Amino acid sequence: MLWKQTYTGRMFFPLAPDPAAVAVEDVARSLAMQCRFNGHVRRYYSVAEHSVLVSRLVPEAYALEGLLHDAAEAYMGDLIRPLKDAAMLYAGQERGILDWRDVEAGVQAAVARAFGVPALAHPSVKQADMALLMAERGQLLGDPPAPWGTEYVRPAAVTLHCWAPEQAEEEFLARFRELRGT
């Protein structure tokens, strides 16, 4: 099976993503149900809350891009960064392994087309994402056993709320409606 059924009952093909199959309700629900850091946190904290916070950290002109920057994860799940890097290395060695980043970029491009934002988010989104990552590390993980290579990034001045999935879904949808003016 090369497709998945979404929360709203749509068929989504990750290897041939169609913007018409993308629904904000699916994105909000899935990201609200996914815990950041693959659940290795002191308390539940969703990708949806992370996305809402990124959207609030960037200039308003890029807020929708910030909200949707991890939307591909709604259709693919999240692969932790070390494994994404390893998948890229193996794919580069022509071992027949699909490069996760290529698939993720295709899904993110379909999401971007569906909502009228650029496939490659503005640099302020990446900056906010990294600053929030460092704030999340401090509030959710504790001291790292080794450097992450991100110590040069100043943590965002935010307090994480750690919303329950239902609230995270509602907050994501409310922020989407706010940014779309609907």
Burial zone of 86 (CB within 10 Å; 0-12 exposed, 13-18 middle, 19+ buried): middle
Tell me the Ramachandran region of residue 162: left when phi exceeds 0, alpha when psi lies from -120 to 50, beta otherwise.
left
Q: What is the pTM of this model?
A: 0.91
Max avg pLDDT among 84-88, 94-98, 151-155: 151-155
Give the residue-averaged pLDDT of 14-35: 97
Q: In 3D, which of 3, 14, 5 has the Cα closest to residue 110?
A: 14
Q: Provide the residue ranges of all domains of the chain, joining segments of one domain with +.
A: 4-122+161-180
Give the residue-averaged pLDDT of 31-58: 97
Output 153 or 99, whichever has higher pLDDT.
Answer: 153
User: Phi and psi (nearest 5°) for 5?
Assistant: -90, 130
- pLDDT bucket at 179, cuts 50 / 70 / 90: very high
Cα–Cα distances in Å, from 36 out to 32, 89, 118, 138?
A: 10, 24, 24, 13
Question: Per the structure block, which two tokens stand in for 23?
Answer: 């629904």
Fold of 4-122+161-180: Hypothetical protein af1432 (1.10.3210)
Give the residue-averaged pLDDT of 46-52: 98
Let me know: does 55 contact 122? Beta carbons within 8 Å. no
Residue 92: what pLDDT?
A: 56
